[in-house]
């Protein structure tokens, strides 16, 4: 009987510690997301049209460029104009609470997996298959894809993903600013 009581106490304690530990992680991720969104909201707006023109994309890829930029801006909850510059994605998507204490290893990344998922949802599988055939070293799963994009800036990200975007996806206000 005593063994059963100790087992129940241990299980209850384990469950409580599990929830407390996860709550702390949840709070840290939410704090990181809020800080990154706050930081992005303070960026100086630039012309989306001018930025996309400066990328010198093929005409058929400009639509995809707008979709990609809009996805990043929605994730960070800022206007696309705030991101119309070649910022490093790692600076926009990864929060480093105190580099003095733990260096770059303590970064909290609340957005990279969401961004990868959103962009893949807007991409055409047949175009990915073509790209994989011509470049077999490209990422083939979500973890590899997030690592791949973490080393890009916004310009590189747009150049890479805009040709893969489904035409007609995400037709929102950013597409109707100027004709």
- pLDDT tens for 73-108 read 999 999 999 999 999 998 999 887 765 555 555 678
Its pTM stands at: 0.75
Q: What does the domain layout of the chain look like in residue ranges?
A: 25-98+106-164
The pLDDT-based confidence of 141 (bands split at 50, 70, 90) is confident
Calpha distance 120→128 (Å, rounded): 9
Pick 8 or 70 by higher pLDDT: 70
Among 117, 124, 109, smallest CA distance to 168 is for 124
């Amino acid at each position: 009987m005593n063994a059963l009581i100790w087992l129940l106490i241990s299980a209850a304690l384990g469950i409580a510690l599990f929830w407390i530990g996860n709550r702390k992680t949840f709070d840290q991720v939410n704090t990181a997301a809020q800080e990154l969104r706050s930081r992005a909201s303070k960026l100086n707006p630039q012309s989306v049209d001018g930025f996309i023109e400066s990328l010198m994309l093929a005409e058929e890829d400009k639509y995809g460029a707008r979709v990609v930029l809009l996805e990043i801006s929605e994730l960070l909850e800022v206007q696309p104009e705030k991101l119309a510059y070649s910022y490093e994605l790692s600076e926009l998507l990864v929060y480093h609470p105190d580099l003095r204490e733990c260096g770059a290893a303590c970064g909290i990344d609340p957005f990279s997996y969401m961004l990868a998922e959103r962009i893949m949802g807007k991409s055409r599988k047949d175009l990915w298959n073509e790209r994989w055939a011509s470049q077999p070293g490209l990422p083939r799963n979500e973890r590899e894809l997030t690592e791949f994009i973490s080393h890009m800036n916004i310009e590189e990200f747009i150049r890479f993903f805009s040709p893969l975007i489904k035409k007609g996806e995400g037709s929102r206000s950013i597409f109707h600013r100027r004709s």
